[in-house]
Amino acid sequence: MKSIVIIGSGLGGLICGYILSKEGFEVTILEKHHKFGGNLQTFKRDGVNFDTGMHYVGSLDKGQVLYKFFNYFDFLGKIKYRRLDEDGFDRIFIKDNEYSYAMGHSNYIHTASQYFPEHHKSIKAYINKIKEVVNNIDLYNLREVKSKKINDFSTYNEKVYDFITSLTSDIRLQNYFSALNYLYSGEKEKSLMYVHSLINNHYIESSYRFVDGSQQVADVFVENIKKNGGKVLKNKEVKEFIFNENKTLKAVKTKSGEQFYADYFISNMHPSNTMCLVPDDMIRKSYKKRLMRLPNTISPFTVYVVLKDKSIEYMNYNYCYYGIDDVWGVDNYSKTWPPFLGMYPLADSIDKKYTRGFSLMTYMDYNELKPWKNTSVENRGEDYKEFKMEKAQKVLDIIEKRFPGIKSKIKSFYTSSPLTLRDYTGSKNGSMYGIIRDYNNLNESFILPRTKISNLYLTGQNLNLHGMLGVSIGALLTCAEFTGLNYLIRKINKKHD
């Protein structure tokens, strides 16, 4: 039996652990924190569970791609989730207008056409295009892949902004098509057509919110991995790679000095963090430098709000506010902060009528955190707390404008900055979505699971694409290095059938 050590229990690491333990490999997952899950983690404040990052998922209706994954992962009946409002899973305020985003391609076209009746043809063309892009990528439809270039999306490497502006000159409709940019940190001169299409289509197909938080996903994964004979260990921070004379990895060493030996190793850490553990003389310098210098997406600042008992009825949708006229301008907000705000009401099983709290998320420049860059959790000082409090008040002032009286219903609130995400999940500079998929630098936008070290592999959101579907596909590619890709695709589809 071949042994595999997986570094990190984020979603990618857990999926790899599940698949490979199911396939008979001896799997050990090492997690540096006291809690499993990475961005799946939840935490409790005043008795209320808050998600770290997985606020909602898509393509989860029966027969859709994430549903197939959930069935294969043995999630059905064990994970609690709730379908969002079909006629408005996201409601977005842009300039003086509020719009709803509907589930289902036909429903999306119908709803958008109510706002822009003179642009029905453009709206239909938009939906047809993103459907075309998604339908032509076998991997994202769990169809067997014949091409050797399984990660080649070159047909759709155009800038999505160019495509959208070719459909219409109406800035309002351009904003409507682009308003879900916050789901992938969209940038006008960088964002790719295939990224936009996969993510937007994912939520338009169907959108769901986890009930009682996303930690349950990690917990069920851990339970299932253990059933398969795997080990999942907490408080095991990997600090050193130990190599053989032939430049293959033989063991990893933890902060406490423990050594874990294996035939193969999979890193769920950011590629640059992984390369930091590889001595220069063990790998080609140009490859290491390339992974070390990869630019990352923007970081988030989040306010977690606990509400007074039964003060606000549950909203079965997400709400997003843009404080700027152009939704593509959120990466240039030095004079207007926050440039946008995402509001995610919590769904729990205690009270279905009322929500007990919500998360408010916006972007933050990591450079603003320079004074506390070298600090650790709970040891950043009073000036850091004051900085976060000032930012939180600006966020709460905006939500008060959109929902007058809501501040009076707040029992308490808490905050997290990019440093929080960096220290708890290992995300580079607290980046939300990992490396940037950049139109201007395509070669560095795609990371393959196989590294230049023969028995070291990568997985996680930086490999392929972020989000639950993107990371699932990325983990599939990693595991395919051991089992074969089409073999796994057949097994997933057979389990669904």
For 121-159, how does the pLDDT look when each residue is reduced to its tens digit (9 = 90+)?
A: 999 999 999 999 999 889 999 999 886 666 555 566 789
Within a domain: residue 318?
Answer: no
pLDDT in tens, 55-91: 899 999 999 999 999 999 999 989 999 999 999 999 9
Based on the number of CB atoms within 10 Å of its own CB, is 364 exposed (0-12), middle (13-18) or buried (19 or more)? buried
CA-closest candidate to residue 291, choices 274, 277, 267, 268: 274
Tell me what percent of the residues of the chain surpass a pLDDT of 90.
70
Q: Choose the final residue of a domain: 186, 205, 224.
A: 205
In angstroms, the CA 320 to CA 336 distance is: 16
Does residue 169 sit in the same domain as residue 222?
no
Q: Choose the final residue of a domain: 187, 205, 223.
A: 205
In angstroms, the CA 472 to CA 463 distance is: 10
Residue 158 CA, distance from chain mean position: 23
Does residue 226 sit in the same domain as residue 254?
yes
Does residue 197 sit in the same domain as residue 227?
no
Within a domain: residue 37?
Answer: yes
Task: Quote the tokens at residue 345.
Answer: 């009401």
Give the total number of structural domains in the chain. Answer: 2
* pTM exceeding the 0.85 threshold for the entire prediction: yes
Within a domain: residue 146?
Answer: yes
The pLDDT of residue 483 is 96
Tell me what percent of the residues of the chain surpass a pLDDT of 70.
96
In angstroms, the CA 16 to CA 363 distance is: 30
Does residue 187 sit in the same domain as residue 229?
no
Within a domain: residue 284?
Answer: yes
Does residue 197 sit in the same domain as residue 128?
yes
CA-closest candidate to residue 203, choices 468, 434, 476: 468
Does residue 174 sit in the same domain as residue 129?
yes
CB 333 within 8 A of CB 339: yes
Within a domain: residue 158?
Answer: yes
Q: Provide mean pLDDT across the span 441-461.
A: 89
Within a domain: residue 189?
Answer: yes
Q: Provide mean pLDDT across the span 208-232.
A: 96
* Residue 123 neighbours by CB distance under 10 Å: 23
Name the pLDDT band for 54 (thresholds 50, 70, 90): confident
Q: Choose the final residue of a domain: 171, 187, 205.
A: 205
Where in the sequence is the domain holding 13, given as residue range(s)? Answer: 3-41+63-80+215-295+438-496
In angstroms, the CA 180 to CA 201 distance is: 11
Does residue 188 sit in the same domain as residue 110?
yes
Does residue 237 sit in the same domain as residue 283?
yes
The CATH number covering residue 454 comes to 3.50.50.60
Within a domain: residue 173?
Answer: yes
Within a domain: residue 394?
Answer: no
Residue 156 one-letter amino acid: Y
